Amino acid sequence: MLKLAALESNKSQDLEKKEGRIDDLLRANCDLRRQIDEQQKLLEKYKERLNKCISMSKKLLIEKSTQEKLSSREKSMQDRLRLGHFTTVRHGASFTEQWTDGFAFQNLVKQQEWVNQQREDIERQRKLLAKRKPPTANNSQALSTNSEPKQRKNKAVNGAENDPFVRPNLPQLLTLAEYHEQEEIFKLRLGHLKKEEAEIQAELERLERVRNLHIRELKRINNEDNSQFKDHPTLNERYLLLHLLGRGGFSEVYKAFDLYEQRYAAVKIHQLNKSWRDEKKENYHKHACREYRIHKELDHPRIVKLYDYFSLDTDTFCTVLEYCEGNDLDFYLKQHKLMTEKEARSIVMQIVNALRYLNEIKPPIIHYDLKPGNILLVDGTACGEIKITDFGLSKIMDDDSYGVDGMDLTSQGAGTYWYLPPECFVVGKEPPKISNKVDVWSVGVIFFQCLYGRKPFGHNQSQQDILQENTILKATEVQFPVKPVVSSEAKAFIRRCLAYRKEDRFDVHQLANDPYLLPHMRRSNSSGNLHMAGLTASPTPPSSSIITY
């Protein structure tokens, strides 16, 4: 009985402990539930606050964008009078747009006409002055001996004829001092007119650059006003569109604000033509997806980052890119024509740095569409950072497609012809073989254009003319203009990039180690060795230049 009582006592104690434990757990559970409820309420509060912040950010961004749009349109209207505008002109049954210069250009034309008139007046007066030029010492004696008989003869003739008409007096000769004084005045006036003409020309060039910006802005505003995305929509519940940056064939690029990451971005909206067949739409979409997959994996400071990709509907999809404030190199060259060798070398160094990265990753990538339009100047100047963009034509050098001789060019005819090497234009039974030396050729063309303000081959030709006349296939040697003066090292570098035979051309890794692109100390040591090795002739690349990566 005692054992039973003890056992009962122990059981009751255990039961009390368990009940106490249960009570503790229940209280803890209640506390946890209370904390969860509090955290849930706090979370809801923070969500509400975050939504308010996002809403306020959207409101402020839209207000700012609206004000900027209004300001840009007001400025554009003012510039229409000063710089010019487009007018619609009818030609038979069709209408075309014609450009009309503003009063700033008209004033310059009037100033130039005034300068030309003044120059003509001075030249006419100089001719009259030449007739009154006093005789020199050598001619004075001969003139005096011949003057007396002539005077007697003239008197006899005049007296005999009794001419009723009044004849003009012969110009009176000036003294030597008077002649030189007047001649000096004319020279000074001509010099002053030459200076004025130079100032007019400089102002005209400046106005033309401003006019290019004005025309670009007029077109941008017109495209923005006709865009279905002009009213600040939020795409994918994340990207607030602010204003149009530019428009291409089937795409529009908007400056946007990423409400999640709180950063600006460039949203490229691809809109397929609704009249296209489903097969063509599918091919376009596959091409864009391929570009996205290639670009998404790239991470380099000299390459524009690709953040996101999403669809809006069956005919519209978007890619989200890193936003860069400046313009591209193509726009810079159109405005400034050319740049200094130091600036151009800096840009080429950065391009080659990006190309080296593209050829060190696995599998390596050929950009294939390197050109000034695909090189962004981050701050809009030639002395800052650059970023490469647009991988729409890039080639993946995987083991299945790349061999010892390179890879087949399956997209022959695509690309920008001025910047493609001769091997891309070879037509035969088999497609031509390409390697990263395609990008090396493009670097040489871009460098040449930055230095001289013109393309080395087919400068004033259209793409169709280049193709029909085999311009690039005939580009066996690059010719350098006399002006501006460029260093012999830069010319040698361009020749190495533009070697006609791809076997003689540098690959990307050789180009990255070229003495011209190395720091000054290393360059001075390496250049001697390079010239000693006879690199004025074409270099021979290693046989396994790419496939060993």
In this structure, are residues 501 and 524 in contact, taking their beta carbons and an 8 Å threshold? no
Strands 234-235 and 239-247: antiparallel
What are the CA-CA distances from residue 5 to residues 17, 107, 519 (Å)? 18, 121, 96
Q: How far apart are CA 233 and CA 285, in angstroms?
A: 23
Q: Which residue has the tokens 């230049």?
A: 545
Taken in order 159, 163, 165, 169, the sign of the CA dihedral is negative
pLDDT at residue 12 in the model: 81
> pTM of the entire structure?
0.77
Q: Go through the chain and tell me how many residues it has.
A: 549
pLDDT at residue 274 in the model: 79
pLDDT at residue 549 in the model: 27
pLDDT at residue 393 in the model: 86
Q: What is the DSSP string of 292-337?
A: HHHHHT---TTB--EEEEEEEETTEEEEEEE--SS-BHHHHHHHHS
Cis peptide upstream of residue 422 (ω within 30 degrees of 0): no
In this structure, are residues 102 and 82 in contact, taking their beta carbons and an 8 Å threshold? yes
- Strand 239-247: give its sheet, edge to edge: 234-235, 239-247, 251-258, 263-271, 316-322, 306-313
Coil, helix or strand at residue 284: helix
- β-pair partners for 264: 257
Q: What is the DSSP string of 454-516?
A: S-SSSTT--HHHHHHTTTTTT--S----SSS---HHHHHHHHHHT-SSGGGS--HHHHHT-GG
Plot region of 406 (φ>0 → left; ψ -120 to 50 → alpha; else → beta)? left
Q: How far apart are CA 403 and CA 430, in angstroms?
A: 15
pLDDT at residue 442 in the model: 96
pLDDT digits (tens, 9 = 90+) for 87-113: 888 877 788 888 999 999 999 999 999
pLDDT at residue 543 in the model: 35
pLDDT at residue 219 in the model: 93
**103-131 and 176-225 are packed helices; what angle lies between their axes, rounded to 10 degrees?**
160
Q: Which of 308, 328, 369, 514 is catalytic?
A: 369
Cis peptide upstream of residue 363 (ω within 30 degrees of 0): yes
Does the annotation count 369 as an active-site position? yes
Coil, helix or strand at residue 121: helix
User: Token pair of 393, please?
Assistant: 């034509």
Q: How far apart are CA 144 and CA 188, in angstroms?
A: 34
Q: How far apart are CA 226 and CA 433, in angstroms?
A: 44
Beta carbons within 8 Å of 434's beta carbon, 6+ residues apart: 366, 368, 395, 406, 407, 408, 409, 423, 424
Q: How far apart are CA 109 and CA 14, in angstroms?
A: 109
User: Token pair of 469, please?
Assistant: 């006349």
Percentage helix, strand, coil, to 5, in the chain? 55, 15, 30
Beta carbons within 8 Å of 392's beta carbon, 6+ residues apart: 287, 288, 291, 369
pLDDT at residue 541 in the model: 40
Q: What is the 3-state secondary structure (H, E, C) of 409-452?
A: CCCECECCHHHCCHHHHCCCCCCCEECCHHHHHHHHHHHHHHHH
Taken in order 383, 385, 389, 395, the sign of the CA dihedral is positive
pLDDT at residue 513 in the model: 94
In this structure, are residues 395 and 365 in contact, taking their beta carbons and an 8 Å threshold? yes
What are the average pLDDT values for consecutive 10-residue runs of the chain, which has 549 residues?
Answer: 77 82 90 91 92 93 96 94 89 83 94 94 90 72 51 48 58 81 92 95 93 93 94 95 89 94 94 82 80 88 94 89 92 92 96 96 92 93 91 83 77 86 88 91 96 93 90 92 94 95 93 89 50 41 33
